Amino acid sequence: MILNVLKLLTISLMQAMNSLSVVSNEESSVDLASQDFDSNQFNKLVEKLKTLLQDDDTAAAAADVIDELYQLPGIGIYQRDLKALAKFIEAYDFEQGLEILDKLSIS
C-alpha cells in the first residue's frame, strides 16, 4: 500500500519537475534570442578565444571569454555551440574547441 502511494507520488513529482523545466527553458531561450545580435562584438570575442586556444592558454582565461559571449544580446542562437565549446575547454580539448569556433565565425 505505502509503496504504491510512493510510486504515484514519485511519478507526479517527476511530471511536475519536467513541466517546470520546460517552462523555464522556454523563457530563457526567448529572452536570449529576442535581443539584437552584435556580430562585430561576437567576432572579436571569437577571435580572442581562438587565439587563447591556439596558444594552449589556460581554460580559465578561455572560460572568461565564453562568459563574455554569453552576455551578448541575442546570443541564444549559439547557446548549444557555446555549451559544447565550454565542455571541450573544461576538458582541455582545445582542438575540438577550435573546430567549434571555426563553425561560429560570422563573416
- 3 state SS of 1: coil
Are residues 80 and 33 in contact, defined by beta-carbon separation less than 8 angstroms? no
Digit-coded pLDDT (tens) for 59-75 = 788 888 989 998 998 88
Are residues 89 and 63 in contact, defined by beta-carbon separation less than 8 angstroms? yes
What pTM value is reported for the model? 0.61
| Total Cβ atoms within 10 A of residue 24 | 10
Q: Pick the closest to residue 79 from 11, 31, 12 (CA basis).
A: 31
Ranges of beta strands (E only) in the chain are: none
Digit-coded pLDDT (tens) for 81-107 = 999 988 988 888 888 989 998 887 764
Q: How far apart are CA 53 and CA 57, in angstroms?
A: 6
Q: Residues for the chain: how many in total?
A: 107
- 3 state SS of 62: helix
